[in-house]
Structure 1
Amino acid sequence: MERCVYFGPGDPGYDETRRTLNPGLDPRPALVAEARSAAHVADAVRTARQLGLALTVQSTGHGTHVAADDGVLLLRTSRMDAVSVDPERGVARVGPGARWGQVIAAAAPYGLAPLAGSAPDVGVIGYTLGGGLGWLSRRYGFAADSVIRADVVTSDGQLITADPDHHADLFWALRGGGGGFGVVTALEFRLYPVSQVYAGTATFPVERAAETLAAYRDWCATSPDEVSTALVLTPERVIIKAMCTGAPDALRPLFATATGDTMAAMPFGQAAMGGTAARHLDLFPALPDAVLATLVEAGRQATVEVRHWGGALARPGGPVSHRDTRFSVIADTPLPGLAEALAPHAGGGVFLNFLSDTGRTADAYTGHDFRRLIEVKRAYDPADLFRTGHRIPMGAAC
């Protein structure tokens, strides 16, 4: 039987393996397990059960929460980073330690691209299990919607396959319900025919922030699905980031008053545009004038990003909810009163990948979908072995 490598407090390697990329986190688990195969993962699950420990998974360390204290076994899967592409099927298969940059590079020679996020060093699995919103999402949907199969080690240490025909309830939950149902050891998902894109930024004077934001809102109402955009308000300037998988003609009216732009044709892999690393606020079904005024004022003090949703994101899919969202708002600083001023106009939901408040997990789903997630959690993890930052409760599915 294959065994993991384990590290306990005081062992050489413990401090190195327990750390995350978030300097604000200092997890100190009872035990760290470093897996290199699905058999290692199964061994770690069985060990956690035998020792009476909960189990939390860390792949690349980008998560905002690591539920790892002295009652937890921290399972590291970063070495399980295999990536393969089947160009005939248009499908990628990745291990739990794979990062988006690896998938983009593997798919590019075939003129294909994944529904990756903004940062190529982010892990594929955690991003996808939480929904996955990227620059191709208005054209093709959430990353979770592209998943066609998952290999999962369950709480009893068994390796199973979840797809539409096998363990269909678990398959549904994994496509946006987070990672608390088992340990995903491999994920297969569709790739899309994207090689060249038209991408870059346009800059506008800060003195015209109000009219630029209003024009952006109005333009978004009829923008084609092939175009993804975000508007960034800063104290110095206004910036619109854009990526287009088709002809860029639709962007011309929006950029007509720009003082300059960097828009150009380029390979998709070169066009990754980072987001605002900050506090994600609520989701919005619309941006009335009162919201625009609040955002312009906030932009005088901090960086505020407004991202356009819609398009293929609105298609029905797995548990990823609030698909009628039209815009999300992000601020790089928790400005006093900003969230409260925006709250009356928000849709009331949140997106799991954006969520920093672990007490709001239920707000990421409709009531029906959250109850269904609780039922799946009970069925596949009845002892609540698997812990994540955004936990599905074991209580009554009310």
Structure 2
Amino acid sequence: MAARSKAGAALTALREDLVGDVFAPGDPGYDDTRTAFSTLPDRRPAVIAQCADAADVVRAVRFARELDLRVAVRGGGHGLAGARIDGALVVDLRRMHQVTVDPAAEAVRIGGGATISHLDRATQPYGLATTGARASTTGVGGFVLGGGTGWLDRAFGLAVDNLLGVELVTAEAERVHANADENPDLFWALHGGGGNFGIATALTLELHELPEFSVVQLLCLPESGPDVVRTFREIIHSGPDEVSGAVRYRTGPPARYTPPALVGELVCAVLLTYAGGEDDLRKLAEPLLALPHEAELAGDLPYADLQCLLDDPPGLRGHWSAEYLAALPDDAVDLFCARAAGMPVPAGAQHILFPQGGAIPAGPRAYPVAYRDAPWAVHPFALWEDPADDGRAIAWVRDVRAAVRPWSTGAVCLNLIGDEGPERVRAGLGEENTLRLAKVKRRWDPDNVFRFNHNIRPI
């Protein structure tokens, strides 16, 4: 009874003190607020603190420590890590999505709850950009702190390579800054170590000039996949760092460039992106354009608009993973394409192959980014609606990973996987990095308050 009374009094105080909103089970709005991008599994946190500013985050963490609650953090996006948040306090940052651009310094400060759309829409009027994700609905905070790979990483480096500073609320409810000069060990850990060390209430990123951006996308029949992938591979190998893209098997969407006969059918879509103008991209894309295809979209396109075109639908069940490859020989191409046959279709699933290289391996070597040198990544991304398809969809993701594992480096960007166990986290970060991260964790979160992530346990 005393414990229940203490919890009730603390919750009442939190409701009174928070500028933002507080939701508990049974409150109007609780179910809507707890809904995540993926409905698998169904999450029921004890309390949701929808914070309005960094001071609210401090109040929420103090509340959690008073009641010995674990803390989960929700930015703006749709990661799978941290799915098991039943009974925890969720610090919901989505109201904290302010973006401030400093064009003279070529830098941007982003609130911890901002999405890639918030970031790109703010920087685009200045002809500036930084590496963002491959969908506008991705949350910037988790994306950057987990490494951050996207359409511009071959040109500008990984998102984390562009990180200039982080404003953080620690497990002790203290506000700290981390940059190259202030708390440098913490700053190092935030380059790939994710949300293990505190709640990022704001991040500052370096910007780059992006006056032009263009794309070529083709929709091809699935049987054309091997030729498409081999041609795409050669364009990436011989092209400049400014060119990137992906091959994606997916269900044909009802888009303006999709022939009616392909809507709802499996297609092989190849996308070339270019940090430059359409004329130069068309020259690079000539070998692809010469292949048989059913539909074509090509031209100059604002970078932020591309992100929105490729968004995935929320409210479905989801499971995904990735393997980073040391090479992409023809045998690997054939296996990648063959595994598209097992996709859950029709659904929002995608079977994705994307390149690295360019500025990525040339980036800072000291950070815990063990996948930096891998030239290719395979990313099976399953979305489906019917719970009866759970086993089939999850098995497909695992089957894709198993098929390409002979070429895998073992390292992985943790942004692209769910909860796959501590061994996978160590492999993703590297053994030496994991040990050093555990020491930083001991300094900043010795009680492992922030554990609903790709968790690094304190030594």
Name the TM-score, length of structure 1 as normaliser. Answer: 0.91
Residues 1-398 of structure 1 aligned to structure 2 (within 5 Å): 3-4=17-18, 5-64=21-80, 65-70=82-87, 72-233=88-249, 236-246=266-276, 247-248=280-281, 249-259=283-293, 261-272=296-307, 274=310, 279-302=320-343, 304-317=351-364, 318-331=367-380, 332=382, 333=393, 334-335=395-396, 337-359=399-421, 360-395=424-459
Residue 309 of structure 1 deviates from its aligned partner by 1.1
C-alpha distance 160-328 of structure 1, shift in aligned 2 (>3 A): same
Q: Distance in 1 between matches of 2:443 and 2:39?
A: 36
Q: Distance in 2 between matches of 1:28 and 1:192?
A: 41
C-alpha distance 341-61 of structure 1, shift in aligned 2 (>3 A): closer
C-alpha distance 278-203 of structure 1, shift in aligned 2 (>3 A): farther
Of stretches 245-254 and 137-146 in structure 1, the one that deviates more from structure 2 is 245-254
Residue 240 of structure 1 deviates from its aligned partner by 1.3
C-alpha distance 258-194 of structure 1, shift in aligned 2 (>3 A): farther
Aligned 8 A contact 2:79 2:418 in 1: no
Residue 382 of structure 1 deviates from its aligned partner by 0.9
Counterpart secondary structure, 1:132: coil
Paired AA for residue 364 in structure 1: G
Aligned 8 A contact 1:153 1:184 in 2: yes
Paired AA for residue 268 in structure 2: V
Aligned 8 A contact 1:94 1:187 in 2: yes
Residue 127 of structure 1 deviates from its aligned partner by 1.1
Of stretches 17-26 and 307-316 in structure 1, the one that deviates more from structure 2 is 17-26
Residue 261 of structure 1 deviates from its aligned partner by 2.6
Residue 174 of structure 1 deviates from its aligned partner by 1.2
Cα root mean square deviation, aligned: 2.3
- Residues 146-205 of structure 1 deviation map (CA, whole Å, 9 limit, x = unaligned): 110111111111111100000011111112211110011111111111132111302445
Counterpart secondary structure, 1:115: coil
- Residues 70-105 of structure 1 deviation map (CA, whole Å, 9 limit, x = unaligned): 2x2111111111111111111111111112212212
- Residues 353-394 of structure 1 deviation map (CA, whole Å, 9 limit, x = unaligned): 111233122221111111111111111011111122311122
Of stretches 258-267 and 35-44 in structure 1, the one that deviates more from structure 2 is 258-267
- Residues 269-320 of structure 1 deviation map (CA, whole Å, 9 limit, x = unaligned): 2222527886333110111232122123223443532111111111243222
Q: Distance in 2 between matches of 1:187 and 1:108?
A: 18
Unaligned residue ranges in structure 1 (runs of 5+): none
Counterpart secondary structure, 1:319: coil
Paired AA for residue 38 in structure 2: N
More helix per residue: 2
Counterpart secondary structure, 1:185: strand
- The alignment covers a number of residue pairs equal to 394
Q: Distance in 2 between matches of 1:264 and 1:270?
A: 12
Aligned 8 A contact 1:3 1:43 in 2: yes
Residue 6 of structure 1 deviates from its aligned partner by 3.5
Q: Distance in 1 between matches of 2:267 and 2:39?
A: 30
Q: Distance in 2 between matches of 1:137 and 1:265?
A: 19
Paired AA for residue 99 in structure 1: T
Of stretches 115-124 and 142-151 in structure 1, the one that deviates more from structure 2 is 115-124
Q: Distance in 2 between matches of 1:390 and 1:378?
A: 16
Of stretches 303-312 and 273-282 in structure 1, the one that deviates more from structure 2 is 273-282
Paired AA for residue 186 in structure 1: A
Aligned 8 A contact 2:148 2:158 in 1: yes
Of stretches 360-369 and 211-220 in structure 1, the one that deviates more from structure 2 is 211-220
Aligned 8 A contact 2:186 2:440 in 1: yes
Q: Distance in 1 between matches of 2:193 and 2:161?
A: 12
Instruction: Quote the sequence identity (%).
Output: 32
Q: Distance in 2 between matches of 1:155 and 1:375?
A: 15
Paired AA for residue 302 in structure 2: P
Of stretches 361-370 and 291-300 in structure 1, the one that deviates more from structure 2 is 291-300
Aligned 8 A contact 2:101 2:108 in 1: yes
Paired AA for residue 17 in structure 2: R
Residue 236 of structure 1 deviates from its aligned partner by 5.0
Residue 209 of structure 1 deviates from its aligned partner by 3.0
Aligned 8 A contact 2:216 2:285 in 1: no
Counterpart secondary structure, 1:53: coil
